[in-house]
Amino acid sequence: MEHAATAVSFKYYFVEFTYLLAGILFIMGLKGLSHPDTARRGMHYAEIGMLMAIIGTLLHRDIVSYEWIIAGLILGGAIGGAISYWVPMTALPQRTALSHAFGAFAAALVGISEYYREGAALGEIKVTALAFEVLLGSLTTTGSLIAFAKLQGLVPGAPMTFKGQNFFNMALLAATVGCFIYLLVTPAAAVAFYIMLGLAFLFGVMLVMPIGAADMPVVMSLLNSYAGLAAAATGFAISNNVLIIAGTLDGFSGFILSVLMCKAMNRSITNVLFGAFGSATDGGGTQAGGEMREVNLEDVATQMAYARQVVFVPGYGMATAQAQHVVRELADVLDERGVTVKYAIHPVAGRMPGHMNVLLAEANVPYSSLYELEQINPDFPNTDVAVVIGANDVVNPDARDNPKSPIAGMPILEVDHAKAVIVLKRGKGKGFSGLENPLFFKENCGMLYGDAKDSLTRLVHAVQQA
């Protein structure tokens, strides 16, 4: 008897120890992810942390049978493996949205099943945590699914709005929170619980529908933070320490990331959530007149080969073209000729934070060659050629010069201050904000049309011949 009790308490301490270790590894992981040099290591710490959390949970005393868990592990592992293998880097934002939807749905299901099994017997404190978890989990589930659909192009990316929408959404939120508060004082009120559940699902849809696809990364990071808080609430409800730690880390890091992205676009969170940015009715962008000047590839190659300094400005188009390796090749060829090569990185270039850093790191571009906005902008007047590779919004001078522009105030890479600007893009397509870019009409700007990877590959040969 005593022997069995010792074994149980050893198991309990072992599980708690693995959770503590997991929590420490998650924190080390986040710390590592804050710098490109240590990001890979940080990711490994977080992976080991997750393994620890899984091992600890598999030994948990509440587990009575392993069949369903093993089936879930095999199925989930297979789906996760296939997704990470098949989904291209450019589709990462929608993949992340889908993961958030599943994670949040799992948190909501735990809450629903606990309430269904135990009901008011859980007591007021646990019902409060459960209701909070179900509320956030449900709205995050549908919100993330809509974000996924918008990013994947399954529903129109433009904001879908109607008159009085903000008022309707506020009323919906008030009704949902009303049910939540009613449950706190009357934990046995199952009807209030299920109405709250339905309203929260609907609120997730209504919250994300009016937001344009261009703002989806911010929304997702915010939903990520809700999913984290839902997981933390689950932790309180089922007394699980690793869920409390991981959920809180997730919740707050997601929120900080949303704030940082808004700052990089000079927008407020409320403007992102309620501003319907990027709608077809958005005015204020400069209607640039004149012609875009098309340039010849050989001329561009000569210009670059005899330059003192060339700055590459990557954007979303470099990611879709998967041109990062050939950019590196071109940089090497220029470097051999004594040209100084730098890369200018805008914090929201691409479709997710750090998008360009990840791609360039994959192509082994040395971190010391990457320059942030504040560092590189004063250097553009000394730059002979700024090569814009599939970037558009992040180099749009309207943000600086036109106070009426929807992106007014967004910090930009001031490539127009360089002696010459060459823009690599396929045609006259607009950026993600849908705005015209007056840069392309400036005198010092030349357009080199074509797929970025293709143009860069031909440039490598042409520079070698120059």
* H or E stretch at 310: strand 309-314
Contact status, residue 441 vs residue 428, Cβ threshold 8 Å: no
Helix, coil or strand: residue 235: helix
In terms of Cα–Cα distance, which of 17, 89, 92 is closest to 60? 17
Q: Interacting stretch for ligand NAP, rule CB under 6 A, among 80-88, 117-125, 188-196, 426-434?
A: 426-434
Contact status, residue 327 vs residue 389, Cβ threshold 8 Å: yes
429-448: contacts with ligand NAP (CB under 6 A): 429-433
353 in contact with ligand NAP (CB under 6 A): yes
Kindly state the smallest distance separating residue 410's Cβ from ligand NAP, in Å.
7
Decide: residue 314, CB within 10 A, 0-12 exposed, 13-18 middle, 19+ buried: buried
Kindly state the smallest distance separating residue 262's Cβ from ligand NAP, in Å.
9
Distance CA 304, CA 89 (A): 29
- Could you say which of 393, 416, 451, 454 is catalytic? 393
178-217: contacts with ligand NAP (CB under 6 A): 214, 217
In terms of Cα–Cα distance, which of 230, 380, 384 is closest to 306? 384
Decide: residue 68, CB within 10 A, 0-12 exposed, 13-18 middle, 19+ buried: exposed
Site string for ligand NAP, 391-410 (x = CB under 6 A): xxxx----------------
Contact status, residue 293 vs residue 446, Cβ threshold 8 Å: yes
Kindly state the smallest distance separating residue 200's Cβ from ligand NAP, in Å.
25
222-261: contacts with ligand NAP (CB under 6 A): 261
* H or E stretch at 387: strand 385-389
147 in contact with ligand NAP (CB under 6 A): no
261-290: contacts with ligand NAP (CB under 6 A): 261, 265
Q: Which residues pair with 370 in a beta bridge?
A: 343
Q: Interacting stretch for ligand NAP, rule CB under 6 A, among 102-110, 225-233, 326-334, 351-359?
A: 351-359
390 in contact with ligand NAP (CB under 6 A): yes
Give residue number: closest CB to ligand NAP: 429
Judged by CB under 6 A, the residue of 350, 434, 438, 446 near ligand NAP is 350
Kindly state the smallest distance separating residue 150's Cβ from ligand NAP, in Å.
12
92 in contact with ligand NAP (CB under 6 A): no
Tokens, residue 254:
């997601």
Strands 385-389 and 420-425: parallel
Q: Interacting stretch for ligand NAP, rule CB under 6 A, among 47-55, 234-242, 292-300, 384-392?
A: 384-392
Kindly state the smallest distance separating residue 21's Cβ from ligand NAP, in Å.
32
Phi, psi of 294 (to 5 degrees): -85, 140
Judged by CB under 6 A, the residue of 100, 150, 342, 351 near ligand NAP is 351
Judged by CB under 6 A, the residue of 208, 321, 331, 420 near ligand NAP is 321
317 in contact with ligand NAP (CB under 6 A): yes
Kindly state the smallest distance separating residue 398's Cβ from ligand NAP, in Å.
12
Residue 219 burial (CB count, 10 A) = 25
Phi, psi of 276 (to 5 degrees): 45, 45
In terms of Cα–Cα distance, which of 410, 324, 411, 326 is closest to 370? 324
Kindly state the smallest distance separating residue 430's Cβ from ligand NAP, in Å.
6
Site size toward ligand NAP, by CB under 6 A: 34
425 in contact with ligand NAP (CB under 6 A): yes
Distance CA 212, CA 324 (A): 28
* Active-site residue, 398 included: no
Distance CA 63, CA 219 (A): 36
Q: Interacting stretch for ligand NAP, rule CB under 6 A, among 157-165, 286-294, 313-321, 333-341?
A: 313-321
Give the position of tokens 């890979």.
Answer: 40
Distance CA 142, CA 159 (A): 16
Distance CA 127, CA 111 (A): 9
Judged by CB under 6 A, the residue of 105, 115, 132, 316 near ligand NAP is 316
Distance CA 433, CA 62 (A): 50
Q: Interacting stretch for ligand NAP, rule CB under 6 A, among 223-231, 236-244, 311-319, 456-464?
A: 311-319
Distance CA 422, CA 445 (A): 6
Kindly state the smallest distance separating residue 413's Cβ from ligand NAP, in Å.
9
Judged by CB under 6 A, the residue of 18, 141, 320, 324 near ligand NAP is 320
Give 126 or 342: the residue with its C-beta nearer to ligand NAP: 342
348 in contact with ligand NAP (CB under 6 A): yes
Answer positive or negative: Cα dihedral of 355, 358, 363, 369: positive
Give 135 or 352: the residue with its C-beta nearer to ligand NAP: 352
Residues marked active site are found at: 393
Query: Would you tell me which residues interact with ligand NAP (CB under 6 A)?
Result: 214, 217-218, 261, 265, 315-317, 320-321, 348-353, 355, 390-394, 424-433, 451-452
